[in-house]
Structures are given as C-alpha cells and as structure tokens.
Structure 1
C-alpha cells in the first residue's frame, strides 16, 4: 500500500506511475478524499478541545456564582456531546474509504522496469542451456503421462472436477523428489529457513500481501471465513506482520513447500489440457525480508537461487524482465523465469521473483529499526517461486523424454528416487 503523505507530496509521480501501468490518474481523487478526512479530524479535535475548555469554564463560573454563564456553558457542552459522535463517525467512514482506495492502487514500478502493455513488452535478461537435440517427436506432458499410465485426468475430474490431476506411482514419486530436492537446495546451499506454515489464513494476512481486497475472486474461501493460500508467500511474509525487527536479524529468508489453491477465475479456456493451470498445485516458495538498502540486491540473489534449481535439473530457460503492463499488483520489479517445453515448442513461466519495496510492509505494519538513527521504517519484502513443482515435473517429463516413451530421471534427482533411473510404463 502506498503512503498518502507521499501521494500528497508527489501527485504527478503517482499519476505518471499509474500511466506506466495503464491505469487512470488517481492523485487528485485521493488527495481530495484525504482533505475531507483531515478537515473532519480537525473539526472533531476542535470540538473536543472546546468541550474540555468549556467544562473547566463551568467550574470557574460556578465558583464565581455566575449561574447564568454556567448554564450557557453547560448547554454548549451538551450540544458538543450531541454533535461529536456524528463527526467521529464521519471520520471513521472517510478513513475507511481512504484506506480502501489506497489498498486498491498497484505498487510504483521501479525506474528500470520496461514500459509495455502486456507480455509482449517483456525484455529478455538472459538465457541458460540448450534445447534438447534429439530426433524423436516431442510430446506434451499429458500425452507422455497418460501413455505411461501414471497421470490421470479423468479420475481427478470424477473426484474434484476440472483443473485437477492425479499422479500415481513413478510420477507421484518424481513430483515428491522434485519438491524435496528444491527444499534441500534452498536450505543447504542458499541459506533459507524451512517453514511449514498454515494453509488457511485470515483476512488480515491476505490483505497484508495484497490479495485482498482486489483479488478475492481468484481465491478459495472456507465456510468459517478463512482463505486457502494461493501461494506460501502469504503465510511466510506475514511471519513478520505487526513486528518491529532489529536490523541485525535482516535479511530473513524463508522457504516452504506447500499446496497452493487458486480459482483461476480469469483463465477460462486457457491451458485446459494437462497440469499447467490447476486449482491445486505444489510450489516451493522463497520469501525475503530486508531493509530498504538491500532489497534490490536481494532481488538479484533470489532470482539466481531459483535459476540454480533449473540449472541443476539441466533445463533450458530464459529469464525475462516483466514490463509495467505485465507485473503483479504488489511488485516494483519482477523477473519471470521461463522454462523450455519441447512439447509446446515454447517457453512457459516456472518462477516469478518480485521485489515489493515497503508496499507489503506498510500493509502488514511490519517494521525494522534503522541502525543509523534508530528510526522505525517499514521492511522491504521479496517473494519468488523456487520453483513451481508441478511445472518442473512437466519440464522434466518433456525434456527428458526418450524415443521409447520412457523418461530419464535427471542425475540430481536420483538420490530421491530409491534407485529408479527411468520413468517407464506402468505394468
């Protein structure tokens, strides 16, 4: 969430940033709303001050036996007591209206983010590795998985409906191996602390990371008012909500392997075949909590950590800098890592690493103590996929496909596969 004081001081900068994101100018509307709020706050304060002063004057008037003045003052105090609740209610209403308006404004893009309307404006940062060089025909993951007998979409649809998958046997073990391998890599090599967080969270947690109020339709809600997490970013980032951290504990780096749940409300007709766009999927998440000076460097580091997973798996990928029109709501800058899928003959996102500045810190009231002047500042937050486990499975299956329809297991996963070196057809 943006600071209304910053908006008041920089209205042109806000509108310019919104224009870069393809949004309408809002500075004047927000400032006007804040002026109304400030005016009613001042009016309420003046009424409270006058009530307090008049109450003292009543005592003085009565001490001086000036009953006429005392009665006039009592009438004035009674009138203020009648009017003050309405002013306080108006203040609460306008404050809530302003908070709601601010909560729906996207983050300010960093200066070095390329301008653009959609994914076509994204800019390639770099590539790694080579596309597979075999001669046999590439196949999509669902063709491979169903032919092997270890991937079942019809059975999943009977149980849960569309956009679910059942993995069995060797493919189920491969997905488990991928998740464990990623966790081990991030905890043992990259310095992240493993966390097993709640999958159900309250409104405040969703608000803190920016899913609420704007993106409620993309989420699943339980009957008791809690939300199923769309990503472990929600739980991990909120570990520091309403805290004041000492600077020497920063940066904090968390990772978790969790199921994620998304309604995919805006994706009708997209990726309806296979595992690419699911209501439920597993993902290894990375979250960093930093100070203001370190967040940019931490963004590069986090992206490298996610890339390292793909390098170890031997998967060709490219890293893209997202343009202003393709960035997420809370992001200042985002890198998408896109893995090569031979079956689709294209790159597909497998990780998205974003730096959010103090946007989420302000929403969570998460702060740290600056060591230079001991002032209290909002933390900077970062999040990224390290990486999406289901999409990693898709990439492994398509890139390691053999001519006979089997799938070779990457060397780095062999310690997790109980001696299995190849995924073969179910007997």
Structure 2
C-alpha cells in the first residue's frame, strides 16, 4: 500500500512512477477522496467544539430561568450531535474508499527497472551453465520413458480434474529429494531459518501480502473464509504482521517448503501438457525482512541463493530483470531465473525473486524499532522461490534424459536417494 502523505506532497512523482505501469494520473482521484475525507474530519471537529460550548451554556441558561435560551441551546446540542454523527460516517466512508483504492494500486517500480510491455522487453543479466548436447531429439518430461510410470495424470484427473498429477515411485522420491536438498542448502549454508507454516490463512493475511483485494480469483477460498496460500510468501511475510521488531534482529531470513494452490485464472490453454502449470504444487519459498537500507543488496543475495541450487544440480539457466510491463503487482524490482528445458528447447521460469520495499509492511503495519531510538519505521520485505520443486523435477528429467529412455540424476541428490544415480527406462531407481 502507498503512503498517502507522500502522494499529497509529490503527486507528480507518484503519477510518473505509475505511468510506467500504464496507469494515467491516479493521484487525482486519490487526492479528491482524501480532501473530502479530511474536510469531513475537520467539520466534525468544529461541530464537536460547538456542541461542547453549547453544552456548557445549557446549565447556565436553565439556572437563570431563560427558557427560550435553554431550549435554543438544547436544540443546538442535538443538532450538532447529529451533524457530528453524519460527518464521522462520511469520514469513515472516505477512509474505506481511500484504503480500498490504495490497496488496489500496484507498487512503484525502482528507477533502475527497464521499461517495457511484456516478457520480450525483459533484460538478461547473465547466463550460467551449458545446455546439454544430445545425439537424439530430447523429449518433454512427460514423454520420457523413465518418467511416464511415475507421472499419473489419469488418476489425478479422476480425483481432482485437470492440472493435477499423482506422483508415484521414483518420481515421488526424486521430487521429495529435491525439496529436502533445497531446504538443507538454504538452512545450513545460506543462513535461512527453516520454518513450517499453515497453508490455510485468514483473509487479512492475504491483504497483507497483496493477493487481496485485487487478485482473489487467482486463489482458493474455503467455505468458512480461510484462504489456501498461493505460496509460503503469505505466511512467512505475515509472521511480522502488526509487529514492531528490534532493528538488531534484522534481517530475518526464512524459508519453508509448502504445498501451494493457484486457480491459474486467465491461463486457459497455456502449458496444459505435463506438470509445468498446476493448481496444486510445491515450492521452497524464501522470505527476507530487512532494514530499508539493505533491501536492494538483499535482492542480489537471494538471487544467488536460488541460482546456487541450480548450479549444484548442474542445470543451465539465465537470470533476467523484469521490465515494468511484466512485473508483479507488489514488486519494485524482480529477478526471474529461467532454467533450460531441452524438451521445449527454451528457458522457462523456475524462480522469481522480488524486492517489495515497504509496500507489504504498510499493509501489515509491520515496523522496526531503530537501535538509536526514535519513531518506529516500516520494514522492507522480499520474497522468492528457492525453488519451485515441480519445475525443478521437470528440469532434472529433461536435462538428464538418455537415449535409452533412462534419466541420470544430479550427484547432489544421490545421498537423498540412498545412493541411486538414475531412473531406468522402466521407471525404477537404481
């Protein structure tokens, strides 16, 4: 959410920043609502002062026997009481309207973010690793003989419908091994605190991280009002919701492996084959909660944490900075990491790491207490995948596939699979 005082003080800068996202002059409506709200508050205060003064004079008029003055003052008190109630209601309505409007506006991109309209305008930062060379035409993950027995889309369709999968045997074990490997690296080497969180949250938590009110159709809500998390960003970030933490405790660096749920609204017809785009999937999510002065450096640090997982798995990837037209609602700058998928002959997103700044902290009222004293300030938050587990499984399968239909597994996974190094063409670990 945005700071209304900053908009009042420099509406032109606010409009210029949001114009890069295709929004035209949003400050006009904001300031109009804000002015009406503030005027109602001022008038209510004036009416309250007049009521207080009249109330003091009522007794004196009664004592002096001036019945006409007594009745006039008593009527004035009643009139001011109703006027105050009407003005306070008007102010409350203005508050709610202003808050809803501010809640629906995206974050302001950093000046350094490239302008653009879609993914074609993203800017590549670097590439690492070499895509494997094959003496045969590489298959997509769901076509590889070693994977076929363990990717059961038919059972999933009977159970839940489209865009679900049942993982069996070797596929389930490799999938689990990947998540354990990621958690181990982040918790023991990257300084993130492993965390276990619920996947059901109250509505205000979805407001806190920006999924609501604008993007409710992208998530699932239960009949009793809970929401299923789209990623653990929601729970990890909201651990500081309504809190004031000591500056000495910063940064807070957290990670969690959770089930994630997305309706994939608006993605009809995209990536319908295989398990690239699912309604239910798993991620190892990273969240950092930092001092404002260190958040930009933290974005680069988190990016390296995610890239390191791919380096260890021996997977080729590229990292891009998203342009203004491709960035998410809450981000000020986003780095996407795209892994090479031989079956598709292209790079596909496997992690997205975003600097959010104080945008979520304002929604959550999350602050830190400066060490040297002074007024508490809003925290900065960042989030990113470290990594998407299912997409990493896809990359491991496609990059490790062999001509005979088997799959060679990355060496770092061998200890998690009791020494198994490959999946046979029949789908067995060996």
Deviations 1:162-185 (A, max 9, x none): 000111000100000000000000
**2:199 aligned with 1:180, yes or no?**
no
Which portions of structure 1, spanning 4 or more consecutive aligned residues, are displaced by more than 6 angstroms?
A: none
Q: With the length of structure 2 as denominator, give the TM-score of the two structures.
A: 0.97
Deviations 1:198-236 (A, max 9, x none): 100111000000000000010111010110000100000
Query: CA RMSD for the aligned pairs?
Result: 1.3
- Residue 233 of structure 1: aligned partner: 233
CA distance in 2, matches of 1:250, 1:175: 33
Matches of residues 6-17 of structure 1 in structure 2 within 5 Å? 6-17=6-17
Change (3 A) 1:185 1:145: farther
The answer to whether the 8 A contact 2:197-2:236 is kept is: yes
SS in 1 for 2:41: helix
CA distance in 1, matches of 2:109, 2:176: 37
Where does structure 1 lack aligned partners over 5 or more consecutive residues? none
CA distance in 1, matches of 2:62, 2:313: 87
- Residue 36 of structure 2: aligned partner: 36
Give how far 1:29 is off.
1.0
Give how far 1:10 is off.
1.4
Give how far 1:8 is off.
1.0
- Residue 354 of structure 1: aligned partner: 354
CA distance in 2, matches of 1:364, 1:49: 34
- Residue 162 of structure 2: aligned partner: 162
CA distance in 1, matches of 2:276, 2:10: 42
SS in 1 for 2:38: helix
CA distance in 2, matches of 1:144, 1:15: 51
SS in 2 for 1:293: helix
CA distance in 1, matches of 2:52, 2:120: 63
Deviations 1:255-282 (A, max 9, x none): 0000000000110000000111100000
- Residue 111 of structure 2: aligned partner: 111
Give how far 1:403 is off.
1.3
CA distance in 1, matches of 2:259, 2:12: 42
Where does structure 2 lack aligned partners over 5 or more consecutive residues? none
CA distance in 2, matches of 1:2, 1:118: 24
Deviations 1:129-167 (A, max 9, x none): 101023122110111167641111111111110000111
CA distance in 1, matches of 2:120, 2:137: 29
**2:53 aligned with 1:53, yes or no?**
yes
Give how far 1:68 is off.
3.3
The answer to whether the 8 A contact 2:316-2:340 is kept is: yes
Change (3 A) 1:26 1:8: same
Q: With the length of structure 1 as denominator, give the TM-score of the two structures.
A: 0.98
Matches of residues 308-327 of structure 1 in structure 2 within 5 Å? 308-327=308-327
- Residue 199 of structure 1: aligned partner: 199
